[in-house]
Amino acid sequence: MRSFMQIKIYRGKFIAYAIFVVFIGLALGALTCAVLLDQWVSSSRNEADGAFSRVENTLQYDADRIEAYMQRVYSNDGLVTDIRNFLGNSAQGYLTNRLQDSRYNRPLVSFPDDLKSFLSSGGQGDITQVSLHTAQEGNVVRFDSNGNTSFAFRLPNADATFKETIQNGFVYRKKLSDPNRISRQLGEFRFLVSSDRIFKTAQQYALNEAAAVSGSGDVYLIAGSNRSSSTEELVRRAAADGRGHGFLSTGLLDRAYFVTFHSTEFDYQFVSIVDLASLIRQKADVLLIVFLIVLAAMISVLLLIVYNLREDANFLRRIINSIGRVKSADFTPVHPASYRRNEYGMIARELDDMIHQLDRHIRTNYLLKLKQQETEMKALQHQINPHFLYNTLEVIRSFALVNRASDTADAIATLGALYRDIVKNENIITLGGEMALLQKYLKIMEFKYPDRFYYQVNVEESLLALPTVKFWMQPLAENFFIHGFNPESEFNLIVVSGWEEEERFVLEITDNGNSISEERLSEIRNSLARDDDANTASIGLRNVYTRLHFFYGQGFFMTIDNNEQAGVKISVILSKGAIRDVQTAHRR
């Protein structure tokens, strides 16, 4: 590690990498812990949801049983009679009235016994007390967990026995009407469902802290070992918060997650609270595993970085040593170092090869300069040859004029102008300039075949300023004279057309000569499609296609077809996008 820490650039890289790795590791660790914590909180919320649903289902089940019992009461005249005897009487009065209303030919119905067998399930049910009230007082039937029944008679309605608190339970009220006169109310049933028995079912779920809070603020603790006043106050805060779930501050840095559910049957809320500090302590082993995994990953990445930086430092020392040898003109071969098979190793090997070859290059430099001078002399000589040809053509033209051969003179002048334009240095010209070269060539062919060859040029003016490569239209026209021209015909015609469309420019060269056989036409098309240079019979066409495709790129298309009557049509299509790209590149 000391080997690369001594180099400033790699020392800075290592510090930057180490900070980045530690930051990423801590971020990933924190994110993982946050995700796990969210999952644990969500699991606690699901448990609370399940416990609340269980309580609500139990309350609904008890309500259905009470409703069924009321239907049972109204369908049994003997039961109604016994209930009327029980209502508002003392124990002695109740028993006396029962005996007076008894008949030897009918079984004696007992309201308390029927109530016990139908609702209390032998003392194991949720309904632990049933009271029957008049306007001032009530009589009570209680059921304990052992199945025993106890009674209390003529208790005032304001007695503590009838106080409705969430600590005691939930009260279902049912009116007792006269079966013979429904509008007449005899009294009121009050069925007490015990909170202890109802909420005992919720304790089967994994709840940290859970409680029921009534509308008046009374708290019934369902689950949790801490039953202090602070816990009750936290439960009240959660119930009064107004949100269905969220976080509450329980200290300077402590937070507690809560979730509340509102009952549809009674005025109370089911509140579940998860203290995050306690939850983290419970899951400390999982968080420790996450920390160790992140720490191991960071150490592994840092070791990998150290290994790579050390190798790079060795490479840099080799480079510095090679540069020093070159500066001191020390080209003595050194023992080759071992390099890794990557770009760094390639550079190091190339530097060693450069040192080995530099001496040889220096020794041959003088010879190369001599070769360069010889090449420049040949280039100057080649520049003289075209001028000699121009001068010679001009002498022949003057001789033709002296002998009054004006057609010959015009042909020579046209040929000289054509050759002069061809050998000029520029390779990119306008389409108008290329059309001028073509017309000079066609004019010469018109001299060669008088009264047998004609040509027409119909190109829109918008195409004349387009950039193009030099001397590609003449080879296309020359194909006509080689393959399609008929010397015996009195009318051989070439038509050059060009027009602009919405997204492209189109050029067509059409003749009325011989057509191309379908087999040969297919070969030419396939050759152009696969860039095949093997068929030398169409080398001129191949040359044109290659040059235009290279210049215009994917925006260039060329098609070759036979005309319906006679001859061949060659179409060159240039997209406007390709023209814009060429113009932009040409300006640069």
The last residue of a domain, from among 392, 425, 458: 425
Percent of the chain with pLDDT over 90: 19
The average pLDDT across 273-292 equals: 87
581 shares a domain with 525: yes
Percent of the chain at pLDDT > 70 equals: 77
Task: Judge contact between 138 and 131, C-beta under 8 A.
Answer: yes
Give per-residue pLDDT as tens, 158-205: 998 899 898 889 999 999 888 878 778 889 999 999 998 888 888 888
Residues 473 and 396 in one domain: no
Burial of residue 581 (CB within 10 Å: 0-12, 13-18, 19+) is middle
Query: What is the pTM assigned to this prediction?
Result: 0.51
215 falls within a domain: no
Is there a single domain that holds both residue 421 and residue 542? no
| 485 plus 396 within the same structural domain | no
- Residue 17 resides in a domain: no
For helices 77-86 and 91-100, the axis angle rounded to 10 degrees is 150
Structural domain span for residue 368: 332-425
- Residue 479 and residue 366 in one domain: no
Please check whether residue 49 lies inside any domain of the structure: no
The answer to whether the CB of 80 falls within 8 A of the CB of 72 is no
**What average pLDDT does the segment 91-96 reach?**
87
Q: Tell me which of 150, 171, 199 is where a domain ends.
A: 199
Tell whether 497 and 583 lie within a shared domain: yes
Q: Report pLDDT digits (tens) over 130-159.
A: 999 998 999 999 988 787 889 999 999 999
Question: Residue 325: inside a domain, yes or no?
Answer: no
* 503 lies in the same domain as 578: yes
Please state the rounded mean pLDDT for residues 405-429.
66
Looking at the predicted structure, is the pLDDT value of residue 300 above 80? yes
Angle between the N-to-C axes of helices 431-448 and 406-422, in degrees from 0 to 180, rounded to the nearest 10: 150
Indicate whether 414 belongs to any domain: yes
Average pLDDT, the chain: 80
Task: Please give the structure tokens belonging to residue 307.
Answer: 């290994």
Q: What's the CATH number where 480 sits?
A: 3.30.565.10
Asked whether residue 189 falls in the same domain as residue 138, the answer is: yes
131 falls within a domain: yes
The reply to whether 463 and 557 lie within a common domain is yes
Q: Are residues 96 and 163 in the same domain?
A: yes
In the chain, what's the furthest Cα-to-Cα distance?
Answer: 167
Domain end marker among 425, 458, 488: 425
Q: Which of 171, 181, 89, 70 is nearest to 134 (CA)?
A: 89
Query: Looking at the predicted structure, is the pLDDT value of residue 389 above 70?
Result: no
The answer to the question of residue 110 being in a domain is yes
pLDDT in tens, 25-38: 889 988 998 898 88
**For 510-544, how does the pLDDT look when each residue is reduced to its tens digit (9 = 90+)?**
998 888 888 888 888 888 777 655 444 566 788 78
Let me know whether 583 and 461 are in one domain: yes
Tokens of 448: 């060669």
**What is the secondary structure of 444-479 as a DSSP string?**
HHHHHSTTTEEEEEEE-GGGTT-EEESS-HHHHHHH
Based on the fold, state whether residues 541 and 574 are members of the same structural domain. yes
| Domain annotation covers residue 430 | no
The count of domains in the chain is: 3
pLDDT tens digits along 490-499: 889 999 999 9
Q: Indicate whether 386 pLDDT > 70.
A: no
